[in-house]
Amino acid sequence: MPFDAREATIDTVHHALYSGLWTCRDVVSSFLANIEAHNNRTNALITLNPRALTIADDMDQQLMAGNATGSLFCVPILLKDNYDTADMPTTGANLALAHSQPTRDAPSVVAFKNAGAIILGKANLHELALEGLSVSSLGGQTIKPYDSTRTPGGSSGGSGAAVASSFCVIATGTDTVNSLRSPASANSLCSIRPTRGLITRTGIIPISYTHDVIGPIARTVKDVATALTVMATTGYDAADNATALVPSPLRHINYAASLSRFPLSGLRIGVLNGFFNRTDAPEVTPVNNVVDSVMSRLSTAGVTLIPINEIVYNTTAIQAAYDVQRFEYRELIDQYLQRPSLSGEHPNTLTELYSHKAVNNSEGKFLVIPSQYEYVNTALVSSTGNATYNDRLAGIRNLTVTLLDTFSSNSLDAIIYPEQKNLVVKIGSPSQSGRNGILAALTGTPVVTVPAGFSEPSDEAPIGVPIGMEILGRPWEEQKVLGIGYAVEQLLKARRSPVFARERVAVPQYEEVPTITPDRGNISPAYPLGTL
């Protein structure tokens, strides 16, 4: 029998290899077969790595020689296509960047390769990671594996859909406001948004120095912890001075080794009541029911839940008052596009990128959803020199102090809330409304997302729509929030795979890696190309 890629983990891949039951080529072939069989259901991928099988063959030689090393040896992963790769274009899912070719891997990509991971290819995303609908001019609309009428969350929606569908073991994401946690929640997955500075952001298409972090998405907390351990080996990077903030004792930690150190009994966990929508509505009530049930089970397991009712914890107000993306975006993207290490055909500035508009029946080379026209147009004329920028940074510092005071005054181990107040939205919606990611994005604090449950099944969603919960901790407490996430994961066992991904797929003898072509014809008319 071929290796079974369905719901495979790092441990099951390694058991298959080290027991001699399957080769690395067998493992990679099985994931490629899943992609060939089901990517048309999700439109999750932009490209596959043509060297993936060659790399697998090289690893089989290492395995035969007894030289198989690395915590991710022969583990197939997918990269969100805003991670620089020297052997594949890095496009941000934007047509104008379709041929943009970095000449260096991002440090996080180097870390994955050093750990033995096999990069299968690049995943679709919401264009340039600017929103959460996961639709783009280059990649088309990514479709939720659990309900083909809904988006998969985002902006790392291709990564989330791919992991949920067993196209890989781990995928990477970026998170400016919600973008690691939203697709994890929407696809019954786990993720971590680490403390800002733990992993360098060099080689990632940027949006905001203040908001941006990068991290992994996987089907289990243990796999997330292992991937985070690898990504954090990038260490101090002079090109990203946030990495200087990591306390020395917290470097070189094996996050997977300490997962069982935080049993639930005796924990004090805050509940942000302002991050719930208590309206009785079809898109909202399922979220409240699921998270309320989780809280009941946590109480039964010995957790003391502390209600947090301060009015400062209002996501809409926080985003309106303190979000600084508009001031940082243009300067950062211009720096990225003008690096000497970036080759291939590409615009040199953000203004040039957005100059490729729809004219004379030409569809244009970018996609901005109408609800973000104001955001992008403002970013094109804003900078960190704007007077209000420093005012907002001061507000972020005050918000961070308030959050840390909430932890200390209530003796909290963590804070929980639903990742999204409502179910992930339908394709064609104006935006990915109701998400709660802004607090961690501004304060730079670590957050683990775990599956909490599902809405009731329906004709469109045969097993229901996944619902996720965030577990937020103090800065640099990745070990603790991962441990709590692991304990919650073991308590709930809420992860379920999409119906189609339960089918066993025939695995051919591949001579070469198949070609994937994104479906650009599935973009909703609600999102016109080349319009701003």
Catalytic amino acids? 80, 155, 179
Backbone phi, then psi, for 145, in 5-degree steps?
-65, -20
Tokens (6 digits) for 185: 């929640």
Residues pairing with 426 in the sheet: 150
Distance of alpha carbon 299 from alpha carbon 43, whole angstroms:
40
Residue type, 480: K
CA separation for the pair 169, 164 (Å, rounded): 9
Q: What is the spatial distance between Cα 287 and Cα 210, in angstroms, rounded to a whole number?
A: 30
Single-letter amino acid, residue 78: L
In single-letter form, the type of residue at position 23 comes to T
Q: How far is CA 283 from the centre of its chain?
A: 23
Burial of 509 (0-12, 13-18, 19+ CB in 10 A): exposed
Tokens of 293: 């049930």
The C-alpha R_g of the chain, in whole angstroms, comes to 22
The closest alpha carbon to 220, from 20, 91, 75, belongs to: 75
> What's the rounded Cα separation, in Å, for the pair 221 and 226?
9
For residue 45, what are the β-bridge partners? 123
Q: CA–CA separation, 442 vs 317, rounded Å?
A: 13
Other C-beta atoms closer than 10 Å to the C-beta of 224 total 31
The token duo for 431 is 């935006």
The torsion angle over the Cα atoms of residues 120, 121, 126 and 129, rounded to 10 degrees, is 90
Give the CA angle between residues 418, 194, 486 to the nearest 5°.
Answer: 60
